[in-house]
Homo-oligomer: A and B are copies of this chain.
Amino acid sequence: METGKQKGAPLPTVRRLPTYLRLLRQMEKDGREFVSSTAIADELHPESIQVRKDLAVTGIEGKCRVGYPVSELIQAIEEFLGWDNTTDAFLVGAGSLGAALMGYEGFERHGLNIVAAFDIDDAKVGRPLRGKEVLPLSKFTDLARRMHIRMGIIATPADAAPSIANLMVASGIRAIWNFAPAKIIVPENVVVQNEDLSSGLAVLSRQLAEILEKEGEA
């Protein structure tokens, strides 16, 4: 087993790793010990060369004729993503999106623990959200520092997002997961992942238009 993990792995590869992980966990549950890149490709992708390239970032190599050791590969992907340790996160925005994220299946299995939700709205503060009390935004900085929180999740309306991002950065947050459809600006030593639902809708709308056009022409 090689231990030479690559840094700066290609983002598309990183994005695909959870999908491999889900399949591998299912295979492990089914009692499978080894799996070939071809078998993985059959389930997920058309090209098994892509599977081999993607999985190479973990440092695990498939063996001739038997393939990858399933459990070892699961562990290596989890390590690579940092999902073998729990990451505590604070969420801001206790609306329905915040509730959806706090209840999203699988986050805990990915080592994400949303320990507290904050809101600026007095009507939401003090009420429970998915079993956790919503805290006033004024407590964010103090609690984030005391608890050494490194990840922040923005689930506010778009216009609130930039100032929430500033608050997070000032409170020691180093990774921001931004679900608001707004641009946020952070220093170089902070990473941001924007989840813009409009991007997915754009792809789907365009593809739907294409198949309907094609049928109209036919």
User: Which residues does A use to contact B, with CB under 8 Å?
Assistant: 7-9, 11, 14-19, 22, 80-83, 87, 95-97, 99-101, 103-107, 110-112, 150-151, 157-158, 174-175, 177, 181, 189, 191, 193, 195-213, 215
Contact = CB atoms under 8 A, between A and B. Distances in A.
B106 A100 contact: no
22 contacts: A14-B206, A15-B199, A15-B203, A22-B181, A22-B198, A81-B202, A81-B205, A82-B205, A82-B209, A95-B103, A96-B96, A97-B103, A101-B197, A104-B197, A106-B198, A110-B205, A150-B208, A151-B204, A177-B204, A189-B211, A191-B204, A191-B211
Contacts of A87: 205, 208
A127 to B, nearest CB: 14
Contacts of A111: 205
A15 B15 CA distance: 15
Contacts of A174: 208, 211-212
Given A100-B99, A158-B105, A174-B211, A11 B203 contact: yes
